[in-house]
């Protein structure tokens, strides 16, 4: 029985009407239905169909629909493109197309010396800002050259990162280094230079180094000078290693002295603090030796000019702390303020010696990366 619609038209019987056939999986997977959104508000009754991502660039490039630019590559390869799309995203490409002369509306660009497939990958990136990893691995060097020549900063940055992390080896580092200099890629050239200096013996035996030696002798000389400077710096660091170790030990001794006079450790400490008998081991390695030196200094009975050798050492420790301390008025270390006042009365030559020693100690500690918390803040709690 056929019914009637609201407008009076006959209504079809659903029981006798045929069902719509289902779409194949290959077709349904290529399209997605999505609600149309305007200002983050979905519009009821409106939907849009999204094609597969790869189809966005295949149709205009492969079919050449309304293409007005012909890109000629090696082996008579031709890629059809659209000036409006290329010029909209890249001003350099737009300026180049505006100055080209062609028959009618057709314009031609010639890109020689680059594989046809690499140019095709480059044009696809200009259309969609997408690339495939296997193509980047194969044409990364060519894409870096194209992105530099046509000023495509996004692709150039991505090529640099890919070459640094996935392609750079000891065998090709010389070639990539020269290319990075030509393409103005400072970060990539820095990575290459570090690898050359680190593995110079292996790199200097490669074919790329031999070719660079013949074609760019000035660049070879620059790299050799860098290797010599790196070796000299390494030798200097090795030579100064014992001296740096002494300065670091002196700094640790100054920290231990502040720790003893401010907080107390084991059996020696400030007069206004009671030390616990079961106190654990101290984290300062120089604390034990300083405790013994302080006890000897307090009870030494040796009557010789200037005191014994241990007392002289304690006087030097106190003097060095005074040269490093930034707040002598509130410092808990004994005689800190007295030494500070006496240093102003000493000769300029003697005072300068202690200042130079203090500066070297602070410099070595800053290189090690530890904070200056004890010597500059040796105050009462």
The reported pLDDT for the residue numbered 45 is: 55
Q: Which domains does the chain possess?
A: 259-271+283-368 (1.20.1020.10)
- Select, from the ranges 34-48, 104-118, 145-159, the one with the highest average predicted confidence (pLDDT): 145-159
The reported pLDDT for the residue numbered 171 is: 92
Helix (H) or strand (E) holding 66: none
pLDDT higher than threshold 60 for residue 331: yes
pLDDT band at 62 (very low <50, low <70, confident <90, very high): low
Q: What does pTM read for this prediction?
A: 0.56
Distances (CA, A) of 142 to 98, 112, 125, 285: 25, 11, 13, 59
Distance CA 48, CA 255 (A): 71
pLDDT higher than threshold 50 for residue 330: yes
pLDDT band at 65 (very low <50, low <70, confident <90, very high): low
The reported pLDDT for the residue numbered 142 is: 93
pLDDT higher than threshold 80 for residue 301: no
- SS3 of 263, please? coil
Position with higher pLDDT, 137 vs 334: 137
Position with higher pLDDT, 269 vs 216: 216
Distances (CA, A) of 28 to 36, 54, 55, 71: 19, 15, 15, 35
pLDDT band at 288 (very low <50, low <70, confident <90, very high): confident
Q: 284: closest CA among 246, 320, 258?
A: 258
The reported pLDDT for the residue numbered 252 is: 84
- 30 contacts 69 by C-beta, under 8 angstroms: no
Average confidence (pLDDT) over 292-303: 79
Which tokens go with 297?
Answer: 């200094």
Distance CA 181, CA 47 (A): 50
pLDDT higher than threshold 50 for residue 377: no
pLDDT higher than threshold 70 for residue 124: yes
- Select, from the ranges 52-56, 170-174, 259-263, 294-298, the one with the highest average predicted confidence (pLDDT): 170-174
How does pLDDT run across 226-247, given as a tens digit for each residue? Answer: 999 988 888 888 888 888 888 8
The reported pLDDT for the residue numbered 306 is: 64
pLDDT band at 144 (very low <50, low <70, confident <90, very high): very high
Average confidence (pLDDT) over 204-222: 92
- 162 contacts 120 by C-beta, under 8 angstroms: no
Which tokens go with 162?
Answer: 């890919």
β-partners of residue 48 are 34
What is the percent of the chain where pLDDT is above 70? 71
Distance CA 72, CA 75 (A): 9
Angle at 164 between CA 158 and CA 165, to 5 degrees: 95
The answer to whether the Cα torsion of 72, 78, 84, 85 is positive or negative is negative
Average confidence (pLDDT) over 275-285: 64
Distance CA 100, CA 106 (A): 10
pLDDT-wise least confident of 35-39, 158-162, 175-179: 35-39
How does pLDDT run across 1-17, given as a tens digit for each residue? Answer: 444 444 455 554 544 44
Average confidence (pLDDT) over 90-98: 79
pLDDT-wise least confident of 54-63, 157-166, 196-205, 299-308: 54-63
The reported pLDDT for the residue numbered 178 is: 94
CA 289 to chain centre: 43
- 307 contacts 315 by C-beta, under 8 angstroms: yes
């Amino acid at each position: 029985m056929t019914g009637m619609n609201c407008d009076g038209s006959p209504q079809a019987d659903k029981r006798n009407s045929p069902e719509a056939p289902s779409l194949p999986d290959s077709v349904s997977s290529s399209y997605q239905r999505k609600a149309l959104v305007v200002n983050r508000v979905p519009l009821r009754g409106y939907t849009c169909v999204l094609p597969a991502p790869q189809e966005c660039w295949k149709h205009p490039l492969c079919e050449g629909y309304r293409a007005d630019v012909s890109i000629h590559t090696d082996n008579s390869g031709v890629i059809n493109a659209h000036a409006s799309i290329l010029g909209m995203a890249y001003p350099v490409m737009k300026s180049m197309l505006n100055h080209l002369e062609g028959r009618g509306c057709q314009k031609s660009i010639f890109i020689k010396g680059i594989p046809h497939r690499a140019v095709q990958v480059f044009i696809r990136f200009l259309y969609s800002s997408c690339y495939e990893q296997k193509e980047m691995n194969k044409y990364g060097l060519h894409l870096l050259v194209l992105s530099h020549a046509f000023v495509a900063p996004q692709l150039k940055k991505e090529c640099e990162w890919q070459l640094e992390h996935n392609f750079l080896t000891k065998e090709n580092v010389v070639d990539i280094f020269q290319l990075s200099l030509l393409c103005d890629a400072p970060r990539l050239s820095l990575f290459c230079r570090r690898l050359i200096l680190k593995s110079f013996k292996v790199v200097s035996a490669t074919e790329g180094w031999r070719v660079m030696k013949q074609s760019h002798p000035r660049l070879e000389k620059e790299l050799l000078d860098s290797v010599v400077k790196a070796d000299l710096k390494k030798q200097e660091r090795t030579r100064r290693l014992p001296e740096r170790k002494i300065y670091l030990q002196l700094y640790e001794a100054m920290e231990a002295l502040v720790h003893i006079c401010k907080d107390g450790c084991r059996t020696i400490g400030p007069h206004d603090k009671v030390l616990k008998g079961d106190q654990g081991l101290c984290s300062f390695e120089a604390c034990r030796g300083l405790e013994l030196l302080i006890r000897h200094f307090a009870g030494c009975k040796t009557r010789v000019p200037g005191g014994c050798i241990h007392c002289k050492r304690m006087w030097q420790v106190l003097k060095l702390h005074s040269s490093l301390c930034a707040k002598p008025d509130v410092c808990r270390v004994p005689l800190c303020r007295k030494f500070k006042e006496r240093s102003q009365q000493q000769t300029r030559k003697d005072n300068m010696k202690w200042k130079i020693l203090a500066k070297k100690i602070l410099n070595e500690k800053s290189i090690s990366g530890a904070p200056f918390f004890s010597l500059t803040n040796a105050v009462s709690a």
